[in-house]
């Protein structure tokens, strides 16, 4: 399918339309935010078939999987946001130290202005709309750009946003040329999801306008399976997290490090699980997606030439099919361990200890997700303390990103900043500090000429613990114990 692109000369007009809405103060009122989110929700429901058809056309995304991970995910995020947005947007009262009294202190949550969202192809609906939801909830206008690598979905999203009919929520379609033009515009925040190479391009362009960025990136997310793990459950959850969307998931377990004593058992269990999920011939399964394009197909085929194929390994270039595949006996020098796999190839590597596994993880960049399978809580704690990651899940994969009460974001090479739920609202909000003082009283202690008495009073006022801090100290002490 050919890609629809926004004429480059129109891009400044689209951004200007969004900026005009901000300048008119149209996007700030809570009523606009709630109304826009409600209408977006209704349109998402109305356009469900068109979106699911487009996802199937782009890379055979199975319908139930697409609904769960794309539409359902976005609807639940909108519902969570609608339930909380009034509270999040309300001014927040905070304590005022004695020295600065009489006065009261508040944090006001202000929109930033015009937000730019640039999304990738692998979950093209939710990775575009969920950041947009957060930007709208925070009272911003938003200009979003879906990925050119999912062209049918890009068109379906354009139809949805056009139906919204508000220049404050706009879409630009296209690839590198259009995104390059878009990035010359001045935004008040850019959220980019994709790979680290383009993230650097985005950050450089943002620097020209001193625009803050949130970068949602990828990398190799490891799963560590210890000898104490429930192997059948671990195999099922790893296979699900890996082969969902044909492995094209930023937080898919990229590779497994398993204690040697349970290596063979785990490989067999993952193989059994693949058959249970997709039948004896996954190519015939309606529940298994395809690789997005020929470039990625060829890249992944090359990664198969390492170690021993224990499960799967079949490929079909015509339909861009790669079987759910488990490879064993790979080394860290093999290409499959040198880059993010982003496809249905799962290396399972035996290690002699959890410490060795942590050494492997820490030799690489900080991952977006870290998974540990163990029945031993202390072991889980040791893994969490021994290696950092954007997010983590104990005895599970992917699930941590579905909880809107948890932030979603990377660290180091896997990204900067976070969103989802309140964290998205905060990302697109300026937290403005406002102190209001009365003129009825004007204690002289902070004004010159300074005296020894004034100094004593200032010192006491600033160092006297606030009752709220006392309570925080009690709670901290409890945690330390």
Q: Is residue 63 within 8 Å of 19, Cβ to Cβ?
A: no
Sole binder of ligand NAD in the list 194, 347, 391, 424 (CB under 6 A)? 194
111/124 with CB nearer ligand NAD: 124
149 in contact with ligand NAD (CB under 6 A): yes
145 in contact with ligand NAD (CB under 6 A): yes
Residue nearest to ligand NAD (CB): 218
Cα–Cα distance between 32 and 316 in angstroms, integer?
49
36/122 with CB nearer ligand NAD: 122
Annotate each residue in 311-350 with x if it binds ligand NAD (CB under 6 A) or - if it does not, as one string: -----------------------------x-x--------
Distances (CA, A) of 4 to 17, 171, 364: 21, 12, 38
Stretch that binds ligand NAD, among 12-20, 51-59, 141-149, 301-309 (CB under 6 A): 141-149
Active centre residues (catalytic): 216, 250
122 in contact with ligand NAD (CB under 6 A): yes
Q: Is 459 exposed, middle or buried (0-12, 13-18, 19+ CB in 10 A)?
A: exposed
What 3-state DSSP class applies to 111? Answer: strand
216 in contact with ligand NAD (CB under 6 A): yes
Cα–Cα distance between 231 and 374 in angstroms, integer?
9
- CB-based burial, 413-424: b 16+ in 10 Å, e otherwise: bbbbbbbbbbbb
Q: Is residue 140 within 8 Å of 113, Cβ to Cβ?
A: yes
109/400 with CB nearer ligand NAD: 400
One-character DSSP codes across 226-294: -TTS-HHHHHHHHHHHHHGGGG--TTS--EEEEEGGGHHHHHHHHHHHHHHHH-S-GGG-TT----SSH
Q: Is residue 254 within 8 Å of 218, Cβ to Cβ?
A: no
250 in contact with ligand NAD (CB under 6 A): yes
36/245 with CB nearer ligand NAD: 245
8 in contact with ligand NAD (CB under 6 A): no
Q: Is residue 321 within 8 Å of 345, Cβ to Cβ?
A: no
143 in contact with ligand NAD (CB under 6 A): no
Interface with ligand NAD (CB under 6 A), residue total 28
Annotate each residue in 389-428 with x if it binds ligand NAD (CB under 6 A) or - if it does not, as one string: ---------------------x----x-------------
121 in contact with ligand NAD (CB under 6 A): yes
154 in contact with ligand NAD (CB under 6 A): no
Provide, rounded to whole angstroms, the least separation between the CB of residue 324 and ligand NAD: 19
Q: Which helix (H) or strand (E) holds 17?
A: helix 11-23
In the numeric block, the tokens 């139809």 are attached to 159
Stretch that binds ligand NAD, among 97-105, 120-128, 136-144, 304-312 (CB under 6 A): 120-128
169/311 with CB nearer ligand NAD: 169
68/286 with CB nearer ligand NAD: 68
368 in contact with ligand NAD (CB under 6 A): yes
Sole binder of ligand NAD in the list 11, 85, 115, 118 (CB under 6 A)? 118
Cα–Cα distance between 370 and 287 in angstroms, integer?
26
Sole binder of ligand NAD in the list 179, 273, 374, 397 (CB under 6 A)? 179
- Please tell me the number of Cα atoms within 13 Å of 163 on its side-chain side: 15
Q: Is residue 64 within 8 Å of 163, Cβ to Cβ?
A: no
Provide, rounded to whole angstroms, the least separation between the CB of residue 463 and ligand NAD: 44
Cα–Cα distance between 293 and 272 in angstroms, integer?
28
In the numeric block, the tokens 């180091």 are attached to 412
The residues binding ligand NAD (CB under 6 A) are 118-122, 127, 145, 147-149, 175-176, 179-180, 193-195, 198, 201, 216-218, 250, 340, 342, 368, 410, 415
């Amino acid at each position: 399918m050919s890609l629809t692109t926004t004429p480059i000369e129109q891009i400044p007009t689209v951004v200007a339309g969004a900026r005009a809405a901000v300048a008119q103060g149209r996007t700030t009122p809570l009523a606009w935010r709630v109304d826009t989110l409600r209408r977006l929700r209704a349109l998402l429901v109305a356009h469900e078939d068109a979106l699911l058809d487009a996802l199937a056309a782009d890379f055979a995304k199975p319908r139930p999987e697409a609904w769960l991970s794309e539409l359902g995910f976005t609807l639940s995020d909108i519902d969570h946001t609608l339930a909380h947005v009034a509270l999040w947007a309300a001014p927040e009262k905070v304590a005022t130290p004695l020295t600065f009294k009489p006065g009261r202190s508040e944090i006001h949550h202000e929109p930033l202005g015009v937000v730019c969202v640039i999304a990738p192809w692998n979950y093209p609906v939710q990775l575009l709309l969920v950041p947009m939801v957060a930007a709208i909830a925070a009272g911003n206008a938003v200009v979003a750009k879906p990925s050119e690598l999912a062209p049918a979905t890009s068109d379906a999203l354009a139809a949805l946003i056009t139906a919204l009919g508000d220049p404050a929520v706009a879409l630009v379609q296209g690839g590198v040329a259009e995104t390059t033009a878009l990035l010359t515009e001045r935004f008040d925040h850019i959220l980019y999801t994709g790979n680290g190479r383009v993230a650097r391009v985005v950050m450089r362009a943002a620097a020209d306008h001193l625009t803050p960025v949130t970068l949602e990136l990828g990398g190799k997310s490891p799963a560590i399976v210890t000898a104490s793990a429930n192997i059948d459950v671990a195999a099922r959850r790893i296979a699900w997290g890996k082969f969902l969307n044909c492995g094209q998931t930023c937080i898919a377990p990229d590779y497994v490090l398993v204690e040697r004593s349970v290596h063979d058992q785990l490989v067999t269990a993952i193989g059994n699980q693949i058959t249970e999920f997709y039948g004896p011939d996954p190519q015939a399964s309606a529940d298994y997606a395809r690789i997005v394009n020929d470039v990625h197909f060829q890249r992944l085929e090359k990664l198969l030439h390492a170690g021993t194929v224990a499960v799967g390994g079949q490929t079909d270039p015509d339909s861009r099919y790669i079987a759910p595949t488990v490879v064993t006996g790979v080394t860290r020098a093999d290409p499959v361990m040198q880059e993010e796999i982003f496809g249905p190839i799962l290396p399972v590597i035996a290690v002699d200890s959890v410490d060795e596994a942590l050494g492997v993880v820490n030799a690489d960049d900080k991952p977006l997700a870290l998974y540990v399978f163990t029945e031993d809580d202390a072991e889980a704690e040791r893994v969490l303390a021994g290696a950092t990651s954007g997010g983590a899940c104990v005895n599970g994969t992917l699930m941590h990103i579905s909880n809107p009460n948890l932030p979603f974001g990377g660290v180091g090479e896997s990204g900067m900043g976070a969103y989802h739920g309140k964290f998205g609202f905060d990302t697109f909000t300026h937290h403005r500090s406002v102190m209001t003082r009365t003129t009825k009283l004007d204690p002289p202690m902070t004004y010159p000429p300074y005296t020894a008495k004034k100094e004593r009073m200032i010192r006491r006022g600033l160092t006297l613990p606030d009752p709220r801090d006392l309570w925080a100290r009690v709670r901290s002490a409890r945690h330390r114990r």
